[in-house]
């Protein structure tokens, strides 16, 4: 596949925008709990007899666990969200021929580490790029104490498990409250003689101990210590997986911050080790009501009523952090919509999730104009109004979904989110569900903006890029020049704002693209390419362009160029005003002398004789006008890549931009 095609395909798939103005009512549910789904497969496999799981979350993460257990010789069949596992018993797993791929799933890698560490055959766990940099020392250390033989580079995946003959029970004092660490040790402990205990500084989610007890293991919970007796005989179970509170959390915040919402999310797990998000949002003034609270195979579940609320900022209590640890991306969005300040400390753990969630979320909120401050172990967020922009979810599913819903809540703003490709790891139905709620999902056509002063080579570079990518090209300067030409022909002066606005509003201008001659610019039915390039026309354009109403009148014409498969937009304010959400913005500069030289050469080639000194004076005067004007002045967008072309050839500039495209659009 050529990179050109790759750019278009990936970008179209990976950049989204949501919008809503509708009322949010009714009842719906979200997919099954991720933590419970992972564990149901693992324990079902280790049990004797059959385990039936309904409501299984068919996300990429959980399917990775399912595939790995199949690779280890377990017979598992899945139809929709119903899964049937023929358990092989504690000692029935077989070595896999190949590596075992956890994809993006930290839960799979850490829980299965506990399982594979205790086997008398070798295996290797691998993961994707993001999982391969996440810390695994936290499970390797206690498992090694238990007698496991694990090799890794720098305590990161790939993890190689060498065969062992025996695993020893330990009493482990975990330095962190992590259900994944606790579970890894307890799962290895199933293979030990005697009782393995794990004590945590704070209680983490308890699905492992709850489910192990349900499968018949001897489990003891005392305060912050969980103990499990080794060599149990696990018995197959019927498991009904409740809806995932972590997925429901996105819709809780959507409803609370939405002006017209009153809906119910059904059958949600409200396990007390997971319900921190409900307590935090309620403390912020969120109207969340638990209805029909009931017990479902040891797991408490409820229907959650969500009503529009006036949220206010709070200091998040430390004791709620472990039970809300996965929900902070969307809690940060709630904080951005709340009045006043929200402060989180003591949550350094967020930096070691699928991304550094403190940085990713705060970078995005900052870019959208929210006043916030990154702390080493948390954040301070002052509620405000979100502006437009393109934010980056950095391939972290929860950050991406959080920003998307922020976009859905910000009517009138254009918030696009890049890096959404991992949403399927936890919530494959996310887009179906938001669509069902009446929220429009848009995959914007990608735009690359190329801004800079006149004579910098934007036109040449932009045309080359458009040709290379086979994308549309917008020469926005030609639109201002066309208006200038029309004004000159109609003897309208640059000072006659009223007439200029009228001309701008009714400009009869078309761009017809012809494979041979390039773009033909037709004004009032006549081709005007050559006339537009005259110095007089450029001069006039630079005088009419600062008029705000003229710019407003020409805005939509420019936006209309955004057509599939993509657009290269060349001008002064493409990245700052017209295409603020462009996924790649380039700003070209060059010193005025160099630009005058280039322009001189160009004019000489056209047989026009002018002095370089005059051109330099012109360029400097025009630069001054373009950059000092009040509306859309010539400045690089804050997220633009500035390239000084003074010492670079066209080929070198082109190569640099291609490099940026590969880096920033191909994700």
Of 326, 396, 573, 626, the catalytic one is 326
Q: Please choose, out of 242-250, 413-421, 540-548, 582-590, the segment that lies near ligand DC by the rule CB under 6 A.
A: 540-548
Phi, psi for residue 176 in degrees, rounded to 5: -125, 155
269's enclosing H/E stretch is: strand 261-269
Region label for 501, one of left (φ > 0), alpha (ψ between -120 and 50) or beta (otherwise)? alpha
Stretch that binds ligand DC, among 156-164, 407-415, 571-579, 638-646 (CB under 6 A): 571-579
**Nearer to ligand DC among residue 105 and residue 484 (C-beta):** 484
DSSP string over 399-416: HHHHHHHHHHH-TTS-EE
Whether 331 contacts 317, CB under 8 Å: no
Q: Which is nearer to ligand DC, 228 or 537 (CB)?
A: 537
Strand segments, DSSP code E, in 484-583 are: 509-514, 518-523, 526-527, 567-571
The piece of 152-160, 214-222, 427-435, 566-574 that touches ligand DC (CB under 6 A) is: 566-574
Catalytic residue status for 326: yes
Residue 107 contacts ligand DC per CB under 6 A: no
Regarding 480 and contact with ligand DC (CB under 6 A), the answer is: yes
Considering the rule CB under 6 A, would residue 598 count as an interface residue with ligand DC? Answer: no
List C-alpha distances in Å: 530 to 330, 458, 482, 601.
54, 18, 11, 17
Residue entry with tokens 């409740």? 242
Smallest distance, ligand DC to C-beta of residue 548, A: 11
Residue 626 near ligand DC by CB under 6 A: yes
Give the contacts of 631 (CB within 8 A, at least 6 positions apart): 546, 547, 548, 551
- For residues 135 and 110, is the Cβ–Cβ distance under 8 A? no
List strand residue ranges (DSSP E) for 425-548, in order: 440-442, 447-451, 472-475, 509-514, 518-523, 526-527
Compute the least distance from the CB of residue 475 to ligand DC, in Å.
7
Nearer to ligand DC (CB atom), residue 414 or residue 535: 535
Among 24, 68, 314, 545, binds ligand DC (CB under 6 A): 545
114 binding ligand DC? (CB under 6 A): no
Q: Tell which positions 125-164 bind ligand DC, by CB under 6 A.
A: none
Residue from 279, 418, 472, 481 binding ligand DC (CB under 6 A): 481
For ligand DC, give the closer residue by CB, 441 or 507.
507
In the complex, the smallest distance separating the C-beta of residue 151 from ligand DC, rounded to whole angstroms, is: 58
Query: What is d(CA 37, CA 69) in angstroms, rounded to the nearest whole number?
Result: 13
Under 8 Å between Cβ of 659 and 3:
no
Number of residues that bind ligand DC (CB under 6 A): 14
Interaction mask 432-461, ligand DC, x per CB under 6 A: ----------------------x-------
**Dihedral sign, CA of 33, 37, 38, 43?**
positive
Contact region for ligand DC (CB under 6 A) — 20-28, 290-298, 408-416, 538-546? 538-546
Among 103, 329, 457, 538, binds ligand DC (CB under 6 A): 538
Whole-number minimum distance, CB 456 to ligand DC, in Å? 9
Which of 364, 477 has the CB closer to ligand DC? 477
C-beta nearest to ligand DC: residue: 477
- Please name which of 118, 66, 380, 369 lies closest in space to residue 231, comparing C-alpha atoms: 118
| Pairing mode, strands 509-514 and 100-101 | unpaired
211 binds ligand DC (CB under 6 A): no
State yes or no: residue 618 binds ligand DC (CB under 6 A).
no
Which residue, among 420, 411, 348, has the nearest Cα to 390 in the 3D structure?
Answer: 420
Contacts of 574 (CB under 8 A, 6+ apart): 447, 449, 450, 451, 474, 476, 582, 585
CA distance 471 to 141: 53
351-390 positions binding ligand DC, by CB under 6 A: none
Q: Residue 573 interacts with ligand DC (CB under 6 A)?
A: yes
- Does position 542 interact with ligand DC (CB under 6 A)? The reply is yes
Reduce the DSSP state of residue 622 to 3 states and report it: helix
Under rule CB under 6 A, residue 473 binds ligand DC: no
- Cα angle value 365/394/404 (rounded, 5°): 55
Query: Which of these segments, 85-93, 162-170, 442-450, 565-573, binds ligand DC (CB under 6 A)?
Result: 565-573
Footprint of ligand DC (CB under 6 A): 454, 476-477, 480-481, 538, 541-542, 545, 571-573, 622, 626
Active-site annotation, residues: 326
């Amino acid at each position: 596949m050529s990179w050109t095609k790759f750019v278009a395909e990936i970008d179209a798939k990976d950049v989204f925008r949501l919008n809503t103005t509708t009322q949010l009512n009714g009842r719906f549910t979200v997919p099954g709990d991720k933590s419970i789904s992972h564990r149901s497969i693992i324990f079902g496999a280790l049990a004797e007899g059959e385990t039936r799981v309904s409501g299984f979350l068919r996300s990429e993460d959980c399917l990775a666990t399912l595939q790995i257990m199949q690779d280890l010789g377990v017979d598992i069949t899945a139809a929709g969200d119903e899964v049937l596992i023929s358990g092989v018993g504690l000692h029935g797993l077989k070595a896999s021929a190949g590596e075992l791929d956890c994809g993006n799933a930290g839960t799979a890698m850490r829980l299965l580490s506990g399982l594979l560490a205790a086997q008398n055959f070798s295996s290797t766990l691998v993961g994707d790029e993001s999982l391969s940099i996440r810390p695994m020392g936290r499970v390797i250390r206690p498992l090694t104490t238990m007698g496991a033989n694990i090799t890794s580079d720098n305590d990161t995946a790939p993890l190689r498990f060498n065969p062992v003959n025996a695993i020893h029970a330990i009493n482990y004092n975990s330095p962190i409250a992590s259900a994944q660490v606790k579970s890894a040790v307890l799962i290895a402990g199933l293979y030990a003689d005697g009782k393995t205990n794990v004590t945590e500084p704070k209680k983490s989610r308890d699905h492992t101990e709850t489910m192990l007890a349900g499968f018949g293991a001897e489990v003891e919970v005392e305060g912050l210590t969980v103990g499990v007796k080794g060599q149990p005989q696990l018995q197959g179970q019927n498991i009904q997986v409740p809806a995932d509170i972590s997925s429901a959390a996105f819709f809780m915040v959507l409803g609370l911050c939405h002006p017209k919402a009153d809906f119910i999310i059904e059958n949600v797990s409200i396990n007390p080790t997971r319900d921190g998000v409900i307590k935090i949002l309620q403390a912020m003034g969120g109207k969340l009501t638990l209805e029909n609270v009931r017990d479902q195979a040891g797991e408490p579940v409820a229907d959650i009523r969500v009503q529009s609320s006036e949220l206010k900022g709070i200091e998040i209590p430390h004791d709620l952090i472990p039970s809300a640890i996965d929900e902070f991306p969307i809690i940060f969005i709630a904080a951005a919509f709340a009045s006043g300040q929200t402060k989180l400390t003591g949550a350094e753990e967020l930096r070691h999730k699928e991304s550094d969630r403190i940085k990713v979320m705060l970078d995005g909120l900052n870019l959208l104009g929210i006043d916030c401050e990154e702390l080493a172990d948390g954040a301070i967020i002052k509620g405000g109004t979100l502006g437009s922009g393109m934010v980056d979810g950095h391939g972290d599913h929860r950050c991406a979904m959080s920003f998307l819903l922020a976009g859905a809540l910000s009517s009138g703003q254009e918030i696009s989110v890049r890096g959404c490709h991992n949403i399927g790891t936890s919530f494959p139905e996310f887009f179906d569900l938001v669509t069902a709620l009446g929220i429009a999902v848009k995959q914007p056509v990608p735009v690359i903006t190329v801004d800079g002063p006149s004579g910098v080579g934007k036109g040449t570079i932009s045309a080359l890029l458009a040709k290379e990518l086979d994308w549309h090209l917008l020469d926005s300067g030609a639109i201002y020049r066309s208006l200038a030409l029309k004004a000159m022909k109609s003897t309208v002066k640059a000072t006659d704002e009223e007439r200029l606005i009228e001309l701008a509003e009714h400009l009869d201008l078309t761009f017809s693209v012809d494979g041979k001659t390039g773009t033909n610019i037709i004004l009032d039915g006549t081709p005007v390419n050559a006339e537009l390039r005259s110095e007089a026309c450029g001069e006039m354009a630079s005088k009419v362009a600062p008029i705000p109403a003229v710019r407003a009148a020409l805005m939509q014409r420019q936006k209309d160029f955004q057509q599939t498969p993509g657009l290269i937009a060349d001008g002064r304010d493409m990245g700052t005003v017209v295409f603020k959400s462009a996924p790649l913005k380039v700003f070209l500069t060059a010193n005025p002398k160099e630009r005058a030289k280039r322009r001189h050469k160009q004019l000489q080639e056209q047989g026009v004789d002018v002095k370089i000194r005059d051109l330099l004076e012109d360029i400097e005067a025009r630069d001054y006008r373009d950059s000092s004007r009040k509306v859309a002045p010539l400045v690089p967008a804050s997220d633009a890549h500035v390239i000084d072309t003074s010492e670079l050839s066209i080929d070198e500039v082109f190569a640099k931009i291609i490099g940026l495209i590969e880096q920033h659009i191909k994700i």
